[in-house]
Amino acid sequence: MLDITNLEVRTGDTDILRGLSLSVKAGEVHAIMGPNGSGKSTLAQVIAGHDAYEVTGGSITFNGNDLFDLEPEERAREGIFLGFQYPVEIPGVNNAYLLKAAMNARRKHQGLPEIDAFEFLKLAREKMATLGMDPKFLNRGVNEGFSGGEKKRNEILQMAMLEPRLAILDETDSGLDIDAMKAVAGGINALRSPDRAIILITHYQRLLEYVEPDFVHVLSEGRIAHSGDKSLALKLEEQGYEWVREAASA
């Protein structure tokens, strides 16, 4: 589904990704871990199409199509979803409006009619209930005045409504208390399916106790230094990242 080959990315004068390769197939859940500054968020932003980064080498294809040919909104309509580490507050745009606009942009691209208003509300209320969100959040400004946990739940709500083919969740677990963590993990697990892929970018092993990954990768110095199964996450939790760095530079 997603094939990243020798990806090189810089911003300003700084090389961030230096030859990163990763292959993600439908049905798989990948966790990408790594120390601060290793390039995890950059990878997520580049896949989503942020123009602050300059791609200097390599390629990314999504279902065989060159991602760099697509604008961020086209990538979204193709089914790529990015859950933001820091969801943006947009006062004056109500949450329901954005959800509906996002769903309809995707549906239009798929040749489907706009979602019926009644169906939309029913679906949104259902998903919100499973995420432990008050339906009142639908009528508030997007992320406006939301707590950290509410913003992350809202990202998961958007993901649940949009049913993407590839979901990239950038540190969705950071700053969550245990209840929020469980709700968010429940939302992610509900979306696991044979035709969908999920990439979890995380600092800690904690989320992976609730969402069990098929693969765990460690990012260091702008490339994947180590890959393994979920036991790799446990090793990182116990031993930290130092050994990865040493192995990478050896």
Of the two residues 43 and 162, which places its CB atom closer to other proteins in the complex? 162
Using CB under 8 A, pick the residue from 36, 69, 88, 178 that binds other proteins. Answer: 88
Phi, psi of 33 (to 5 degrees): -115, 175
Alpha carbons 180 and 206: distance in angstroms, whole number? 13
> Does residue number 105 form part of the binding site for other proteins (CB under 8 A)?
yes
Parallel, antiparallel, or unpaired: how do β-strands 29-33 and 215-220 relate? parallel
Of the two residues 49 and 222, which places its CB atom closer to other proteins in the complex? 49
Of the two residues 88 and 250, which places its CB atom closer to other proteins in the complex? 88
Alpha carbons 103 and 112: distance in angstroms, whole number? 10
Alpha carbons 219 and 216: distance in angstroms, whole number? 10
> Does residue number 151 form part of the binding site for other proteins (CB under 8 A)?
no
Nearest approach in angstroms of CB 246 to other proteins is: 36
Applying CB under 8 A, what is the total number of residues that bind other proteins? 28
> Does residue number 87 form part of the binding site for other proteins (CB under 8 A)?
yes
Query: Encoding tokens for residue 94?
Result: 């109500």
- Which candidate, 12, 76, 86, places its Cα nearest to that of 48? 76
Give the 3-state secondary structure percentages of the chain, helix then strand then coil, rounded to 5: 40, 30, 30
Position 120: which residue type?
Answer: F
Helix, strand or coil, per DSSP, at residue 2: strand
Nearest approach in angstroms of CB 92 to other proteins is: 3
Of 42-71, which residues contact other proteins (CB under 8 A)? 48-51, 71
Using CB under 8 A, pick the residue from 18, 35, 61, 109 that binds other proteins. Answer: 109
Helix, strand or coil, per DSSP, at residue 222: coil
Of 117-146, which residues contact other proteins (CB under 8 A)? 141
Alpha carbons 176 and 78: distance in angstroms, whole number? 30
Nearest approach in angstroms of CB 14 to other proteins is: 19
> Does residue number 114 form part of the binding site for other proteins (CB under 8 A)?
no
Give the residues lining the site for other proteins (CB under 8 A): 48-51, 71-73, 75-77, 81-82, 84, 87-88, 90-93, 98, 101-102, 105-106, 109, 141, 158, 162
